[in-house]
A and B are shown apart, each in its own frame.
Chain A
Amino acid sequence: MPTLLEVRDLTIEFRTKAGIVHAVEGASFNVERGEAMGLAGESGCGKTTTALALMRLLPYNGRIVRGSISFEGRDLVPVPEDSMRAIRWKEMSIVFQGAMNSLNPVQRVGRQIAEPIMLHEEAEPEASFKRAGDLLELVGISRNRLNDYPHEFSGGMRQRVMIAMALACNPKLVIADEPVTALDVMIQAQILDLLERLRRELHLAMILISHDLSVLADTCEQVTIMYAGKTMESGKTMDLFTDPKHPYTQGLVGAFPDIRGPRNMPEAIPGDVPSLISPPSGCVFHPRCKFAFDRCTKAEPALTELSVGRRAACFLYPQVTEVPPRPIAITEV
């Protein structure tokens, strides 16, 4: 059986008035069946764009320039929009951040959960609503609340509703884009436990997007670190956090306070995320990297396997190769 999701060299551009934004460049990762993969990085580094691209939901000014998204062996990039609609929610679904705005405010939640069931499984309304009730109970909400509107729920409960909705058609992959960002810490823990439990019970694969490394450390088997649209490092969660290879990962892990050690102010990474319209030459991280040397400003490091299942893109490791100069893409402005 082929790998569930295999993303190779995914490159996404947005056309804006200010110029072409290179939102994601050469993202590559795998998600196995039943496995959780974490996607981490600072704000604006292309995590959400990657998630939207997986479902082919990029805004009208964004497009996939290069690369492949192969889902169960089938490349989704060239699939026409009509056929893509049959895949959405049925095969993979998405939980957006802040369920506040992700639910339609003027529609009862029962109807919103039942909607994809009626659409994809052509089920009778009655059966769909019954299943919507079962799903609500699965995420710990009474089925009496099917007829309530989203504003009658608290933030955490709305996120539960969103998760119930994501499970409506028994998808193989759930993408959770910052699922706990707008919630307080207690509720965050509850929602993460719920996701973790459901994942094991339903044998789901999951992509968990977060800027909070502790969230990923808890739940994911694999982690991919992104920076300015590029993949910096990927590997098994424990390896990656205990022995970060890339200076950016080291910075992220270092910026995280340790509750056991001496109380030092965590170290911050100086500087800001670079402009994605005119990214720096060579390695995108070099302007902020304390180890940067001559080669980093000129050539771009390729994501190279350092040990089994461990990849990094940094010239500090001699085996890392350079990205071959890409053919100049002809893009009309």
Chain B
Amino acid sequence: MPGDPSLSIIPRDPKFRGLRDYMISFFGLDRPQWEQFVIYLQRLFTLDWGVSYQDHRPVADILFHDLGWTLLLVGTSTIITILIGIAVGAYSAVRRGKAFDFVSTGIGIFLYGMPIFWLGLVLQSAFRKNSVFQTWIPGWPALPTSGYYDDRLIPWNWDIVHLADAGLHLLLPALTLSLGTLAGISLVMRNSLIDVMTEDFVTTARAKGLSPRQVLRRHILPNGLPPMVSLIALDIAFILGGAYQVEVIFRYQGIGFRTIEAIGSLDYPLLQFIIVIGGVAVVLANLLSDFLLLWLDPRIKIS
């Protein structure tokens, strides 16, 4: 990694020379790189994840606080995305070639191609106070566009006022993230279901006299879901990446926001731990999806 983190903590002034040298040896930056790496690995596995250069607090303390907010944001948006994505995908698969299919696929591809940060900016300017819409359309809502909850409500308290305000602040960032990832889910869902629909057992199900709805619920969906589960698990990394942009645009101070800050101030211990968390998240998501597949598809067995 480039740069000298000591410079972002202590000014480049000869009279601080002694302090700088002390900091460099305190953080072990004067050792050879392989030695630094061995020390890092040793500490990683002994749960000593280092101290932030910037905050002088253990990185774990900083990040577990941020992680809570990011999980709230990513979790909400993932749930919205999966529910809407599966519903839209299923409906357009059933009506493939009809108006709903064309419109939903068109909108889907449009959203899929739109950069998430831009979508965030558009939503912000549409829903901020005194937006263009608000002056022209009576009753157009204004939604909070930054932060976890209103500054006036600090400190945090587990009561209805705080929760409602946090929910309101969550609305726009979660919507941005959902819209950005929705199309990926709904388009794959649509194609996966269309594949299943041509299978012989679907004709069997229709021949049994089931209604189209029963055929869809009992025979098509259970066979179309397993590919979706793997896709969503693989998407977790992508969703986290999208969360970086959303968090910065909406000043939602989660992991993503912290990452960008840490890059700006060359806060290596913080960055390293963020990367570890990202890796662990992807591995966990895949493990979870494997267990889910085991339950959804009887043909998969652990040997």
How many residues on the A side are at the interface (Cβ–Cβ under 8 A)? Answer: 28
Using A57-B203, A107-B222 as known contacts, say yes or no to A86 and B299 having CB atoms under 8 A apart: no
Within 8 A of B (CB), among A94-146: 94, 96, 98, 101-107, 115-116, 119-120
Task: Please tell me if A8 contacts chain B, counting CB pairs below 8 Å.
Answer: no
Contact B203 A96 (CB under 8 A): yes
Task: Please tell me if B296 contacts chain A, counting CB pairs below 8 Å.
Answer: yes
Chain B contacts of A116 at CB under 8 A? 208-209
Using A149-B298, A151-B299 as known contacts, say yes or no to A103 and B201 having CB atoms under 8 A apart: yes
B207 contact from A86, A94, A120, A151, Cβ within 8 A: A94
How far is the CB of B211 from the nearest CB of chain A, in Å?
6
Contact A85 B204 (CB under 8 A): no
Within 8 A of A (CB), among B207-242: 207-211, 214, 218-219, 222-223
Chain A contacts of B297 at CB under 8 A? 105-106
Task: Please tell me if B200 contacts chain A, counting CB pairs below 8 Å.
Answer: yes
Binary B-proximity of A36-67 (CB < 8 A = 1, otherwise 0): 00000000000000001001010000000000
A115 contact from B200, B206, B208, B299, Cβ within 8 A: B208
How far is the CB of A49 from the nearest CB of chain B, in Å?
13
Q: Interface residues of B toward A: which range?
A: 20 to 34
Binary B-proximity of A64-106 (CB < 8 A = 1, otherwise 0): 0000000000000000000001111110011010100111111
Task: Please tell me if B175 contacts chain A, counting CB pairs below 8 Å.
Answer: no
Chain B contacts of A165 at CB under 8 A? 204
Using A106-B223, A106-B297, A151-B299 as known contacts, say yes or no to A98 and B200 having CB atoms under 8 A apart: yes
The answer for the CA separation of A301 and B140 in the assembled complex, in Å, is 74
Using A96-B204, A149-B299 as known contacts, say yes or no to A104 and B219 having CB atoms under 8 A apart: yes
Contact B209 A88 (CB under 8 A): yes
Chain B contacts of A149 at CB under 8 A? 298-299
Whose C-beta in chain B lies nearest to the C-beta of A93?
B207
Task: Please tell me if B188 contacts chain A, counting CB pairs below 8 Å.
Answer: no
How far is the CB of B268 from the nearest CB of chain A, in Å?
48
B219 contact from A101, A107, A151, Cβ within 8 A: A107
Whose C-beta in chain A lies nearest to the C-beta of B198?
A59
The answer for the CA separation of A5 and B209 in the assembled complex, in Å, is 19
Contact A87 B201 (CB under 8 A): no
A102 contact from B204, B218, B296, B298, Cβ within 8 A: B204
The answer for the CA separation of A87 and B209 in the assembled complex, in Å, is 7
The answer for the CA separation of A120 and B214 in the assembled complex, in Å, is 14
Whose C-beta in chain A lies nearest to the C-beta of B200?
A101
The answer for the CA separation of A105 and B222 in the assembled complex, in Å, is 9
Whose C-beta in chain A lies nearest to the C-beta of B212?
A81
Whose C-beta in chain A lies nearest to the C-beta of B226?
A106
Task: Please tell me if B205 contacts chain A, counting CB pairs below 8 Å.
Answer: yes
Whose C-beta in chain B lies nearest to the C-beta of A104?
B201
The answer for the CA separation of A106 and B202 in the assembled complex, in Å, is 12
Chain A contacts of B298 at CB under 8 A? 105-106, 149, 151
Contact B299 A104 (CB under 8 A): no
Whose C-beta in chain B lies nearest to the C-beta of A82?
B211
Within 8 A of A (CB), among B148-189: none
Whose C-beta in chain B lies nearest to the C-beta of A97?
B200
Chain B contacts of A89 at CB under 8 A? 207-209
How far is the CB of A51 from the nearest CB of chain B, in Å?
10
Chain B contacts of A90 at CB under 8 A? 209
Task: Please tell me if B199 contacts chain A, counting CB pairs below 8 Å.
Answer: yes
How far is the CB of B36 from the nearest CB of chain A, in Å?
51
Chain A contacts of B205 at CB under 8 A? 104
Chain A contacts of B204 at CB under 8 A? 94, 96, 102-104, 162, 165
Chain B contacts of A55 at CB under 8 A? 207
The answer for the CA separation of A180 and B223 in the assembled complex, in Å, is 26
The answer for the CA separation of A6 and B205 in the assembled complex, in Å, is 25
B209 contact from A96, A103, A107, A120, Cβ within 8 A: A120
- A/B interface sample: 17 pairs, CB < 8 A: A52-B203, A57-B207, A86-B209, A88-B207, A89-B209, A90-B209, A94-B204, A101-B200, A102-B200, A102-B203, A103-B201, A103-B204, A106-B299, A115-B208, A115-B210, A115-B218, A120-B209
- Starting from the known contacts A85-B211, A96-B203, A107-B222, 15 additional A-B residue pairs (CB-CB under 8 Å) come to A55-B207, A87-B209, A96-B200, A101-B199, A101-B200, A102-B201, A102-B203, A103-B204, A104-B222, A104-B223, A106-B299, A107-B219, A116-B209, A119-B208, A119-B214
